[in-house]
Amino acid sequence: MLIFTLPVSFLPGPNNLLSAVHSSKFGFNKTLPLISGMVIGWFLLGVVVGFGALFIEKDSTLLTALTYIGVSYMIYLSYKITFSLSTEDSNISSEELGINTGIILQIVNGKAFIHLLILMTVFGTAFGTDIMGKMIIALLNVSIKLMGWITWALFGSALKIKFNDARSGVLINRAFGFSLFCVAIWIAIPR
């Protein structure tokens, strides 16, 4: 389970990129509410997927619909990030993302569904088949994911310190926004 979860938790993905770009704009401390929402959403999604794994696995239409809803939301976020101004903008505080965005991103994150579906079907009995077993797997998984989100947020903060002028802020936003767009397109491509 660790071999499956650990590498994926540090690769570029919607949560990691959003943690980095938000932290590069607003700083690490103001990114913690967003990350808290990601933790809550990922854990709840893990428990739901744990119990619904068989149904979700058999209903490819549902998984496809959730994937495209998630891709649409990620493209929207990538647009907002790409075309947002640097941290020098006086209206920037209204664009801070919080707990609700972190939770919503998990609900519409097709990559999260697929990751958790694989996790719960392959390793779903590792800690038992009852609610406690599923919750333990979801809790262990979100703990590992949290390390990745924090790492990417720290990376974003380091970028903010290193490149602190307005022009650099815009370039960082565009690079992260484009990266998030690319991840969304990658998720949308059928395999």
Per-residue pLDDT of the chain (191 residues; tens, 9 = 90+): 787 788 778 877 889 988 998 998 888 999 999 999 999 999 999 988 888 866 665 666 776 777 777 778 778 877 877 776 554 443 444 478 899 999 998 988 777 887 887 788 777 777 877 778 888 999 999 999 999 999 999 998 988 777 666 777 677 778 777 877 887 787 778 76
In this structure, is residue 41 part of a structural domain? yes
pTM of the model: 0.72
Give the residue among 115, 88, 93 at the shortest CA–CA distance from 170.
88
102 in any annotated domain? yes
Residue 22 within any structural domain of the chain: no
Domain count, the chain: 1
In a domain, 106, yes or no: yes
* Beta strands, E only, 25-93: none
Residue written as tokens 């088949």?
129
Task: Render the burial of 38-57: b for 16+ CB within 10 Å, e for the rest.
Answer: bbbbbbebbbbbbeebeebe
In a domain, 24, yes or no: no
Is residue 21, in this structure, part of any structural domain at all?
Answer: no
The verdict on residue 10 lying in a domain is: no
Q: Please check whether residue 119 lies inside any domain of the structure.
A: yes
Phi, psi of 88 (to 5 degrees): -80, -10
